[in-house]
């Protein structure tokens, strides 16, 4: 589309920054041609996914603008803000998105400084949260301040396994048992086959679950700095082909839901998936009263009666107040798979009153599925926000573990602040001031 626009580039100096202004003046002829393409696409019923090929467009970004214009006219809506975002779809299509029309804007706040004593280093970092829930960032910051004044949050990854569990069909229970024995006997060969598909992943275990003539094999992998879902799926596909060939068992589905991915499942709580991480902090009585305006006894009682007993009465798979708030907001900000918030936010909050009125506070997240490379972490804004966690200062191969520990520290801060707000009867008031500020002004 060389004849589309004339570009005027003006450079200036302001202080130490160079400011580049780009003015794009579109030829009226092209605008007419663009309108004709929009009209033709609607008239001919050209599907959104075929616009690029139908009009022989060279650029995915040009196609995205055309696709948005078609939607605007067809649906009678305005997508001007969506279209204005700077996204290079020639890079993103085929990797992160299909049928793009633009993007969405979410406000991002930061929690910190968080003082995190992790497995690899102790550092002050910030945790970005993309959210539209008023009071969330402020509340997490209050918790971060309390933990900072208490010496920081200690966090440890205690397990690191991404899983995929295909289901095989056999002809009898005897064959099911033989398949389990075969998998155990030939595990080293299965590991070799899996390793042939990836430089960074390693098959670490295979556990079989038998239900009649159904055998679910839950393969678990270490995946380096990647969250690893695609990595283990490709490796397991190759392994499953070999199992079919050697045993005669029939692969029914590459994922048999015992993995379990993007669904609430207690197997992830019991056996872990992704990063299993624990974070803890002991808060002195003075910090509890000065920053959180409550006591160890009050927070502990709320945790026992609400998180532990209330969750059990309600049939919850986890025992916490709002892990999902911090997990979801951090996932969106840093390019993680948002659908995996389902299992990543399953976890437990544990409290204990210590001598002198101090409070021991810990959070356990058995299946926090995060990565420092791949997926949405390649987007410019998400990568910039990732850098706030200090993840790129950690040795390669250990970065996803550090990221998990930072997120766990953020989850602890958010959970602590919420329980303290309930203990001091401040929850409704804070949401009224921060969460409904726009409504009040209106």
Residue 395 known to be catalytic: no
For residues 339 and 267, give the distance between their C-alpha atoms in angstroms, rounded to a whole number: 18
Helices (H) and strands (E) in the chain, counts: 19, 12
DSSP output for 125-148: EEEEEE---TTHHHHHHHHHHHHH
The number of residues making up the chain comes to: 442
Q: How far is CA 423 from CA 86, 282, 323, 430, in A?
A: 45, 18, 18, 13
Residue 2 known to be catalytic: no
Contact of 166 with 216, CB cutoff 8 Å: yes
For residues 280 and 152, give the distance between their C-alpha atoms in angstroms, rounded to a whole number: 9
Annotated catalytic residue: which of 175, 261, 298, 337? 337
Q: Give the sign of the dihedral formed by CA 171, CA 174, CA 177, CA 178.
A: negative
Q: How far is CA 395 from CA 42, 122, 384, 392, 442, in A?
A: 52, 14, 18, 8, 50
Annotated catalytic residue: which of 83, 200, 262, 378? 262
Q: Indicate the helix (H) or strand (E) that contains 352.
A: strand 348-353
Residue 133 known to be catalytic: yes
For residues 308 and 321, give the distance between their C-alpha atoms in angstroms, rounded to a whole number: 10
Annotated catalytic residue: which of 33, 72, 133, 244? 133
Write phi, then psi, for 407 (nearest 5 degrees): -60, -40
Annotated catalytic residue: which of 200, 207, 306, 431? 431
Residue 7 known to be catalytic: no
Task: Using only the alpha carbons of the chain, give its radius of gyration.
Answer: 26
C-alpha 147, offset from chain centre: 24
Contact of 103 with 139, CB cutoff 8 Å: no
Contact of 437 with 431, CB cutoff 8 Å: no
Contact of 101 with 79, CB cutoff 8 Å: yes
Contacts of 153 (CB under 8 A, 6+ apart): 114, 115, 116, 117, 147, 279, 280, 281, 408, 409, 412, 413
Q: Indicate the helix (H) or strand (E) that contains 427.
A: helix 427-430
Q: Which residues are catalytic?
A: 133, 262, 337, 431
């Amino acid at each position: 589309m060389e004849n589309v626009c004339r570009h005027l580039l003006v450079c200036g100096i302001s202080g130490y920054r160079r400011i580049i202004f780009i003015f794009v003046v579109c030829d009226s002829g092209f605008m007419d041609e663009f309108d004709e393409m929009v009209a033709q696409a609607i008239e001919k019923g050209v599907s959104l996914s075929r616009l690029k090929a139908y009009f022989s467009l060279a650029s995915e970004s040009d196609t995205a603008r055309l696709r948005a214009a078609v939607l605007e006219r067809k649906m009678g809506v305005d997508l001007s803000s969506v279209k204005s975002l700077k996204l290079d779809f020639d890079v993103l299509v085929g990797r992160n998105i299909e049928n793009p029309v633009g993007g969405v804007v979410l406000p991002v706040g930061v929690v910190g400084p968080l003082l995190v004593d992790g497995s690899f280093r102790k550092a002050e970092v910030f945790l970005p949260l993309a959210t539209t829930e008023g009071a969330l960032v402020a509340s997490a910051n209050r918790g971060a301040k309390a933990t900072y004044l208490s010496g920081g949050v200690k966090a440890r990854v205690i397990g690191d396994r991404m899983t995929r569990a295909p289901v095989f069909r056999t002809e009898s229970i005897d064959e099911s048992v033989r398949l389990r024995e075969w998998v155990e006997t030939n595990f080293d060969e299965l590991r070799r086959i899996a390793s042939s598909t990836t430089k960074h992943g390693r098959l670490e275990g295979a556990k079989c679950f038998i239900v009649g003539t159904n055998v679910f094999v839950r393969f678990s992998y270490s995946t380096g700095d990647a969250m690893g879902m695609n990595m283990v799926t490709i490796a397991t596909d190759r392994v499953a082909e070999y199992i079919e060939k050697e045993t005669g068992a029939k692969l029914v589905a590459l994922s048999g839901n015992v993995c379990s991915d993007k669904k609430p499942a207690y197997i992830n709580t019991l056996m872990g998936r992704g990063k299993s991480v624990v974070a803890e902090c002991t808060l002195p009585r003075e910090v509890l009263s000065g920053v959180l305006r409550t006591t160890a006894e009050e927070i502990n009682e709320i945790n026992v009666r609400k998180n532990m007993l209330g969750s059990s009465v309600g049939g919850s798979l986890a025992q916490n107040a709002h892990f999902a708030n911090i997990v979801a907001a951090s996932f969106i900000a840093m390019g993680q798979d948002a659908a995996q918030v389902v299992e990543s936010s399953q976890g437990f909050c544990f409290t204990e009153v210590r001598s002198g009125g101090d409070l021991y506070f810990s959070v356990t997240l058995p299946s926090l599925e995060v990565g420092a490379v791949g997926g949405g972490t390649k987007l410019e804004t998400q990568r910039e926000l990732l850098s706030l966690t200090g993840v790129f200062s950690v040795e390669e191969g250990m970065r996803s573990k550090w990221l998990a520990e930072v997120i766990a520290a953020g989850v602890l801060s958010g959970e602590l602040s919420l329980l303290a707000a309930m203990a001091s009867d401040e929850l409704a008031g804070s949401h009224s001031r921060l969460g409904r500020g726009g409504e009040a002004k209106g």
